[in-house]
Each structure stands twice: as C-alpha cells, then as structure tokens.
Amino acid sequence: MIPRFISQEALKEWVEHLITQFSVYAPVQEKGDYDFAKIAHAEEIAFDFDRTRMSIKGFFLKPEEKLMSASASKGDPVASSPDTSKRIIFGARPCDITALNLTDNVFVKDFYDPYYMKRRQSTIIIGIRCTEKCRTCFCGTMDSNNPLTGYDIMLTEMDTGEILIQAGSDNGEKLFRGSRHLTRQSSEEDQSLILKTFKKITETFTPDIPTTGLKAIIDLGRTEFLWKKYEKICLSCGQCVFVCPTCWCFDVKEIVGADETDFGNLDKTARIRRWASCLYKDYHTVSGGHIFMPTVASRLENYYKHKLRGIPEKFGVWGCVGCGRCVSTCPVGIDIRESLKELTGD
Amino acid sequence: MSEKPRVGIFGMTSCYGCQLEIINLEENILRLLDHVNISYWRLALETPSDPKNLDIAIIEGSASNQEEIEELREIRQNSKIVITIGACAALGGVQGMRNLMNNERVMSAAYSNLSGVRATEVKAIHEVIKVDYAVRGCPINKEEFAAAILHLLAGTQPPAWNMPVCNECKIKGNECFFERKKPLPHYQSRVCLGPISEAGCGARCPSNGMPCDGCRGWTEDAHVKQWIKEGLERNQTIEDLAMLVHRYSGGTKDSEIAKE
C-alpha cells in the first residue's frame, strides 16, 4: 500500500468504525499511568501516552492461564483453547513490537506454543511510532525504535499533525477498505514532509549509550563487581521481570479439584501456567532442594547476561528493547542504562 | 477410601477469624465433608467431639500460655498431619508484638487485675511442635485452604509460594505502591511490604487499593534491611517501619533488625 494520510479527527472516526467490528484494546489513563484496556469509544484513548505500565506481552502470554484439564482416574486430557476472536491492539509502541518479533522466535520458531500462536494469529497490531523519547527510553541504543515487521499498521504523526499510515501486512491494508474516504492519498509534495519528520525521529533516537565492546567485556568476565553491587540493594521482588516485554519465563503447576463448578471433585485436575521470575530462589530450585543460582548476584548476572549476551548471540538482536519499564518499576532504583554505562566503562 | 479421614480443628490464641473463613466456604463445606469427618471443632460442632486419633489437625492461633503448649503437644501426638492456619499460627500474629515490649506494661494496660493472667512468651505453632503445612494469611484465603485440603486428600503436595507478593500483584496488573520516584498518595501513610512478603493471597490488599501488610510473613530470602532503607527514603520513621515489619511476626524472628 502506498502510504496515506489521515487527520487526527478522522483517525478517531476510523477507530470508532473498528470498534464495531473488533475488540479494540488501546492505552487509557488509569491509576496515574497508562495501560491497555478494552475501549468502547475512541475518546477513551489517551493519545498523549508515552508508554504503558505493562507491555503487550500479556495479550499473548497470559499472566495466568489453564493449559489443560484432565481426569485423575481416566486421564482424558483436554487442552484449553484460547479465545481466538479477532482483536486489535491499537497503539503498540515500536519497542513492544520489536519485543513481540523476538518473542515469536522463541514461541513459534524454537518451540511451537499453540496458546501463544493462536492469540498471536488472532490479533491485529496497530503501532504508533514514537516521535519523542519517553520517561526512561533508550530504544535507540537497543535498536528497537524502528521494527520492520510485526505490525499490521504503523501510524506516524507528522510535523503538521497529520498522521502517516503505513501498512505492514495484507490484514492491515484490509482494515482501511471501506474507510478510504477518511484518508487522503500522499502526493509528491508530501515527500519532503515525510523525510523531514523521519529525519527528526532518527536524530531523536540516536544511540546514546556505548554498547560496542559489551560482548567482549561480558566474555572476559569483568562483570562481577556490578552484580555484587546490585546484590546489596536488590529486593528480589521480580517486578523488572514482569514488566519486561522480553521476559517470558513461566511456571507450571498441577492443581487438584480445580473445577470451580464442581468444587471438591478430586478427579478433576488442571495444569496452570503463570508468569515466573528468574530472580526468585524458587525458580532455580529443583527436586531434592538443589538451587542452581543460590545468590542474588548470580540471578542478576543471569538476568542481564541473558538479555545482553545470550539472546544477541542466538537471534542477532538485543534481548533488551530499551523501554525502560524496569527502570521505573524498580523499587530500589536499579537502572539498566547505568549498568550498561558501568559495563562499557563510560 | 475405606473410611473418611478424621479431622480436628483447634483454636489457640487468636480471633478465630480463620476458622470463620472455613465456615465462610458455605455450601462448599458440605463438599469437603464428602471426603472427611470433622471429629473435633469447638467453634462449629454442636455435639461433644473427640480430639483423638486424628488424620489431620488444623490449628489456628499462637501458643501464648502453658496450657496451650501442652494442648499442642497432645494434638501432635494424636494426629498424623498438622496444618496451621493464619498468621498467628505461622508467625505469632499481632499478639506477638508483645514479645518486643515490656511484658508487665502490656499486661497492666490490658488487665486491671493481673492475678489470673497466665500469659507466656508468644510462640508460633512450629516453634512448639512439628508442623507439616501452613496456610498463611490474616485471615486465611478460604479457597487456598480448601485447595490445600483437597491436595492432601488426593495425595499430592499442596501448592508452595516461595515468592513475593509482587509476583501476584503484577499478574493482576495492579498499580505499584512502591515505585521509587512516585510520591506516596495522601491516603497512604505506610509503604508496601509486598517485595519482602510471601505471596499466595492473590495480592489481596494491593488489588483493593491498599499496600501489602505482610500478613503471610517474609519470603525466604527477604532483604529486610534494604526494604527499611527504602522506607526511610520514602519519609517513613524507623519506628513506623519496625512496627510494620513486626506487625505479624514480631515475636518470632529477626527482631534485631528493628534496632539498626
């Protein structure tokens, strides 16, 4: 699709139109922060949002979900089927989309996870490009502010206030069928406007933390000082993990008598999956009581190295997308941007 | 199952609120009774009952006098499995704060005549007898209690929660009460104990707009000193913070931390 333009007013009208066909989730202002919620009207959208409290990973990897149920005596496993009604996430930020692309590598390519995949396939993603840095952003450094795939539509606000529409998939293009009258075609005169806006965005998101020598520094093992320093203050609350768009670890529990409608029936069992955190001792404890990573320092080292060393080697991209949610949620003020600077000696 | 397991429910020093929570299971109690016989329950049984030869003993409350210590030893001898319910049983409870204070002052503030008072140091149940499993919380979460019983009946381990409340709080998508740069809302005079307190309650308080109270006790590797430092940075006094960390577990562990 050749990029088109839409005015801010018409965009709201278009969203109203989408709401009649799909469940639409968009950032709304809630409890002093922004969060994704199902909306009934375009007015509810907080268009001035920088980023949401939680990333969009929870739409695909549910915080808590039943994977299957079974009978204790007969077996009969029945897999749960996730809700696959078509839905739209409106307003995903580029860093979240980059994270989602990385998540696909793990949950689709490495191991096929039907629960994740079904939700992924039934979700249309409309991204909104950032034109300014947010509270804790360092996505320029982590090369995540310009995802090339992973979205169906990408919206970019121009200097003039008009919004540029780029389709990223056939599904995205289809969304504008029947609503073309709300948009206008781009002409040659728009070219300079588009270039000007994108140039400004590129300048805004120029990498500002050095990462070139990071691999060598981590491989040399000169990182101990940092984990030891953080160990003294980290509460092991695990919040950084839950807000992180690229933390996917989960825990699986078997539950007995799990049927709410048939309380006390011991024959009914269920398998529950819920978010877990590698910063908990429990996560590293195995049968017999052995703990693979007994110290907070070793767990922090694992957390950072996974993002800055492990994922880059395996998938060719950073395992951190620079959204900085961990920075604002950390109760003791551990700041990954400072960690990077300390590691690279800046 | 040839014969249904025999269950006894006992109350030590406590408000009996956890036993009330069991009653609050309402019709689901009848479904539990499909699986067990309750042979002793002073709070809820009308007929005289028998606290002997039990398969499961369920104990609420802390040991606060010599009679209770002796009763507990008897219960242990008469039961195969001992489960405690509630914060008092697991940690000493609110009355455990007494251990940190001048005992005589506390006593004379509560009673005009001390001649009949036989209170000893407050002890959690596991400090007196061996406890096999603890359902924590003030009060207990009745669903969690029912789940623990069902797991035992099915011959499997009841769920364990070796993680902080932050886990469940984030799963619920709650606003964080402990973010660093955020000023405390005017109604919030205290800080959240979530990061150092054990989960399992479903983040009950934060989900209802209140910071965590830490009623389930600390996590295994709780970093209490750092939590206190963070509290001080949030303009709390050391006395208030010490009271918070000792509200439920004052008498039973690490009271020296308050001194720092």
Query: Is B122:B96 a contact under the CB 8 Å cutoff?
Result: yes
Q: Flag whether residue B196 sits within 8 Å of chain A, measured between CB atoms.
A: yes
Inside any domain, residue A144: yes
What is the chain A residue with the closest CA to B29?
Answer: A264
Q: Residue B184's pLDDT is what?
A: 63
Q: Flag whether residue B156 sits within 8 Å of chain A, measured between CB atoms.
A: yes
CA distance B202 to chain A (A): 12
Inside any domain, residue A176: yes
Q: Residue B244's pLDDT is what?
A: 84
Average confidence (pLDDT) over B76-93: 94
- Report the distance separating Cα B164 and Cα A63, nearest Å: 16
Q: Is B96 left (phi over 0), alpha (psi -120 to 50) or beta?
A: alpha
Model pTM?
0.91
SS3 A28: strand
Inside any domain, residue A190: yes
E strand map for chain B: 6-11, 37-41, 54-60, 63-65, 79-85, 119-123, 133-135
Band of residue B189 on the pLDDT scale cut at 50, 70, 90: low
Residue span of the structural domain in which A173 resides: 4-61+82-204
Selection from B188, B132, B200, B110 nearest residue B162 by Cα: B200
Q: Flag whether residue B175 sits within 8 Å of chain A, measured between CB atoms.
A: yes
Residue B32 neighbours by CB under 8 Å, 6+ apart: A264, B25, B146, B149, B150
Radius of gyration of chain B (CA): 19
Selection from A101, A195, A93, A200 nearest residue A137 by Cα: A93
Contact (CB<8Å) B171/A281: no
Average confidence (pLDDT) over B182-194: 70
Residue A313, CA atoms < 13 Å, CB-side half-sphere? 10
Dihedral angle sign, alpha carbons of residues A207, A213, A216, A219: negative
Q: Flag whether residue B24 sits within 8 Å of chain A, measured between CB atoms.
A: no
Inside any domain, residue A96: yes
Selection from A49, A53, A50, A48 nearest residue A326 by Cα: A53
Q: Residue B1's pLDDT is what?
A: 46
Average confidence (pLDDT) over B75-101: 92
Query: Is B100:B255 a contact under the CB 8 Å cutoff?
Result: yes
Selected residue of A61, A235, A287 to mutate for chain B interface (largest B Cβ count, 10 A): A235
Selection from A255, A288, A169 nearest residue B154 by Cα: A255
Q: How far is CA B18 from CA A322, B1, B72, in A?
A: 46, 28, 18
Cβ-in-10-Å burial (0-12, 13-18, 19+) of A285 comes to: middle
Q: Of B56 and B175, which is predicted with more confidence?
A: B56
Residues of A with CB below 8 A from B181's CB?
Answer: 328
Band of residue B240 on the pLDDT scale cut at 50, 70, 90: confident
CA distance B205 to chain A (A): 16
Selected residue of B4, B142, B150, B151 to mutate for chain A interface (largest A Cβ count, 10 A): B150
Q: Flag whether residue B116 sits within 8 Å of chain A, measured between CB atoms.
A: no
In single-letter form, the type of residue at position A65 comes to E
In single-letter form, the type of residue at position A89 comes to I
Inside any domain, residue A343: no
Inside any domain, residue A338: no
Q: Chains A and B: how many Cβ contacts under 8 Å?
A: 118
- Report the distance separating Cα A264 and Cα A258, nearest Å: 8
Residues of B with CB below 8 A from A296's CB?
Answer: 221, 223
- Report the distance separating Cα B126 and Cα B98, nearest Å: 18
Residue with tokens 């049983």: B89
- Report the distance separating Cα A41 and Cα A22, nearest Å: 12
pLDDT by residue, tens only, chain A of 346 residues: 788 999 999 999 999 999 999 999 999 998 778 999 999 999 999 999 999 999 999 999 999 999 999 998 999 999 999 999 999 999 999 999 999 999 999 999 888 999 999 999 999 999 999 999 998 899 999 999 999 999 999 999 999 999 999 999 999 999 988 888 899 988 888 999 999 999 999 999 999 898 988 888 899 988 899 999 999 999 999 999 999 999 999 999 888 886 778 888 889 999 999 999 999 998 999 989 899 999 999 999 999 999 999 999 999 999 999 999 999 899 999 999 999 999 887 5
For A183, the token pair is 């948009």
Contact (CB<8Å) B173/A280: no
Query: Is B22:B69 a contact under the CB 8 Å cutoff?
Result: no
Inside any domain, residue A296: no
What is the chain A residue with the closest CA to B202?
Answer: A64
SS3 A263: coil
Q: Flag whether residue B210 sits within 8 Å of chain A, measured between CB atoms.
A: no
Contact (CB<8Å) B226/A239: no
Inside any domain, residue A257: no
Selection from B77, B90, B73, B80 nearest residue B137 by Cα: B90
For A217, the token pair is 């520094």
- Mind listing the pLDDT tens digit for each residue in B19-52? 999 999 988 899 899 999 999 999 988 877 788 8
Task: Report the number of distinct structural domains present in chain A.
Answer: 1
